[in-house]
């Protein structure tokens, strides 16, 4: 057994797995739901070229991608390693994929927001949002182009 490839991360593993499948003549519809047991099928076909852990990482990266989770709709056909239909997506699987998409979306929205005691609080007088009870300040332009704020 000779292992030719060892990728650095799961994204690189997926790229490598796609390339190996193309070279080996394996017809996988990557934009459709994969058959259950796809890992074992791929391990048999490309296991001599790639470590089984890397195949597992690549499939894990793919099935957690946004485009794959979108394709997981109830009643959608699953495809095996030969490009043939090998089942359908159940209602529970579709619901789980929908939840996963929601989690990923919330994670993207919360990226960059600080949490906990490390967050600095800005005084109300320095905050960029206007106070609720006071009117918004009006800007007055004087002759020498200096700005001053009224109503504060």
What percentage of the chain carries pLDDT values higher than 70? 69
> Per-residue confidence at 93, pLDDT binned at 50, 70, 90?
very high
Specify if 92 maps to a domain.
yes
Query: What pLDDT sits at residue 146?
Result: 53
Q: Is residue 25 part of a domain?
A: yes
20 within some domain: yes
Which range marks the domain in which residue 81 is found? 10-111
The CATH number linked to 85 is 1.10.1710.10
User: Strand pairing of 138-141 and 147-150?
Assistant: antiparallel
> What confidence tier does 149 reach under pLDDT thresholds 50, 70, 90?
low
**Is residue 28 classed exposed, middle or buried when 0-12, 13-18 and 19+ CB atoms within 10 A define those classes?**
buried
135 domain residue, yes or no: no
- For residue 81, what is the DSSP state? T
Domain membership flag for residue 33: yes
Question: DSSP per residue over 127-146, as a string?
Answer: -SSPPSSSPPPEEEE-TTS-
- Average pLDDT, integer, range 94-103: 90
Query: pTM to 2 decimals?
Result: 0.62
- Give the count of domains, the chain: 1
| Cα 8 from Cα 2, distance rounded (Å) | 18
SS3 call for 121: coil
Instruction: Indicate whether 83 pLDDT > 60.
Output: yes
Strands 85-88 and 138-141: unpaired
Residue 61 is assigned to a structural domain of this protein: yes
Helix (H, G, I), strand (E, B) or coil at 34: strand
Whether the per-residue pLDDT at 47 is higher than 70: the answer is yes
Distance CA 89, CA 76 (A): 5
Q: What is the pLDDT of residues 11-41, one digit of tens each?
A: 888 888 888 888 888 888 888 999 998 899 9
């Amino acid at each position: 057994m000779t292992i030719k490839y060892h990728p650095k991360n799961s994204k690189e593993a997926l790229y490598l797995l796609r390339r190996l499948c193309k070279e080996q003549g394996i017809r996988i519809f990557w934009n459709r739901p994969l058959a259950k047991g796809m890992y074992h099928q791929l391990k048999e076909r490309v296991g001599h070229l790639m470590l089984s852990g890397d195949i597992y990482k690549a499939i894990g990266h793919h099935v957690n991608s946004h485009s794959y989770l979108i394709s997981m709709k109830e009643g959608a056909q699953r495809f095996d390693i030969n490009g043939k239909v090998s089942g359908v997506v159940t209602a529970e699987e579709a619901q789980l994929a929908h939840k996963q998409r929601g989690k990923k979306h919330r994670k993207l929205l919360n990226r960059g927001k600080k949490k906990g005691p490390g967050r600095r609080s800005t005084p109300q007088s320095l905050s960029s949002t206007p106070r609720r009870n006071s009117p918004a300040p009006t800007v007055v332009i004087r002759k020498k182009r200096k700005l001053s704020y009224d109503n504060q």
